[in-house]
Structure 1
Amino acid sequence: MQKKVSVTSTGISTEDSQLFRESITGARPIAQDKIPPSATPRKQKRRADVLSKTLDENLFWFSDEFEGYIADSASLSWLRQGDDPHLPGRLRRGEFQPQVVLDLHGMTTREAKTELAGLLAYCAKQHINCACVVHGKGLGILARKVPNWLIQHPSVRAFHTAPKSWGKHGALLLLLQVDD
């Protein structure tokens, strides 16, 4: 016959508990001899006044009240006065490949305006002359606002509805002034 083993509330038998206690007799706690790691200082955050000044400079060109461009067809096209009249056609045919793409899907008009200003500042800094702005179709709010913002900016030479490969009626290809 097997001997009945009593089990405590923790699920360990009394024999196992007694065996454990015998095996650790004479053990003493180890003294802490390690130095806890100190937190490395994080990079200093840029001051908010510097960031807001840069943002204000980038947003300077955009006015929400300005309604200078009204599209009368599905295809949007604009050319800065005095520029080469063939530029919108070249954009339409895809002769210029965008070097950067900005996707405005799901953004509010305020966020989209800020991102568009940032894109134009980035393109000027990096000497990028062609960009694609994907505004989407949706309710058409950004599709109406983005062209009006773009024609206000002095570095935008021309824009046209993007070819199918870049988003067709939900996107614009921009040709920008590059200062060397």
Structure 2
Amino acid sequence: MQKKVNVTTAGISAEDSQLFRQSITGARPMAQDKIPPVAAPRKLKRRTDVSSKQLGDNLFYFSDEFEGYIANGPNLSWLSSGEDPHLPGRLRRGEFQPQVVLDLHGMTTLEAKTELAGLLAYCHKQHLNCACVVHGKGLGILAKKVPNWLIQHPHVRAFHTAPKSWGKHGAVLLLLRLEE
């Protein structure tokens, strides 16, 4: 039940109210045309074109128990043995532009590991040498896992915390080995 509003308290004079009532005389309510609301799009399904054998091959390099990388401070930096010692610094300065970006926000550890393995396989197949992996800051779970996974992969030459333009402490730029 609606409460009647006193026209004098709403700041409308009785004269204006009478004029309004005369102007809407003969108006009738519009009929409701039952248009159903548009359904929200469902979440997109994950790729189904990757067979379980390919998935197993891609995940072969990654072990969750291996913790060979320990971060010294907020910056992540690693260099494969036998590589140019200036590579991490060049990554830090942004001399390499990532050709592909992987965003791991909102993923579980298993999903993130699967996507990272897929990214490395994709880069190897497409001959891409630089990639950016955005793991986010959050609780730091993926920030600790991603470097440990990356140092296990034979195609990763070096990685470093991304420059500010690519996500700073929430992302890693990695340089990959291209094989002929």
* Cα separation, 1, equivalents of 2:151 and 2:70: 11
* Cα separation, 1, equivalents of 2:123 and 2:81: 21
* Cα separation, 2, equivalents of 1:179 and 1:99: 17
Shift of 1:72: 1.8
* Cα separation, 1, equivalents of 2:54 and 2:72: 35
* Cα RMSD, aligned residues only: 1.1
* Cα separation, 2, equivalents of 1:179 and 1:97: 19
Match of 2:148 in 1: 148
What SS does the corresponding residue of 1:133 show, helix, strand or coil?
A: strand
What SS does the corresponding residue of 1:95 show, helix, strand or coil?
A: coil
Deviations 1:24-61 (A, max 9, x none): xxxxxxxxxxxxxxxxxxxxx86xxx700000000000
Match of 2:102 in 1: 102
* Cα separation, 1, equivalents of 2:179 and 2:163: 26
Match of 1:71 in 2: 71
Normalised to the residue count of structure 1, the TM-score between the two structures is: 0.72
Match of 2:111 in 1: 111
Normalised to the residue count of structure 2, the TM-score between the two structures is: 0.72
Equivalenced residue count is 133
Match of 2:136 in 1: 136
Structure 1 unpaired stretches of 5+: 1-44
1:58 aligns with 2:58: yes
Match of 1:39 in 2: none
Task: Percent identity, please.
Answer: 82
* Cα separation, 1, equivalents of 2:72 and 2:173: 18
Match of 1:86 in 2: 86
Question: Which runs of at least 4 in structure 1 moved beyond 2 Å after TM superposition?
Answer: none
Match of 1:171 in 2: 171
Partner letter of residue 122 of structure 2?
Y
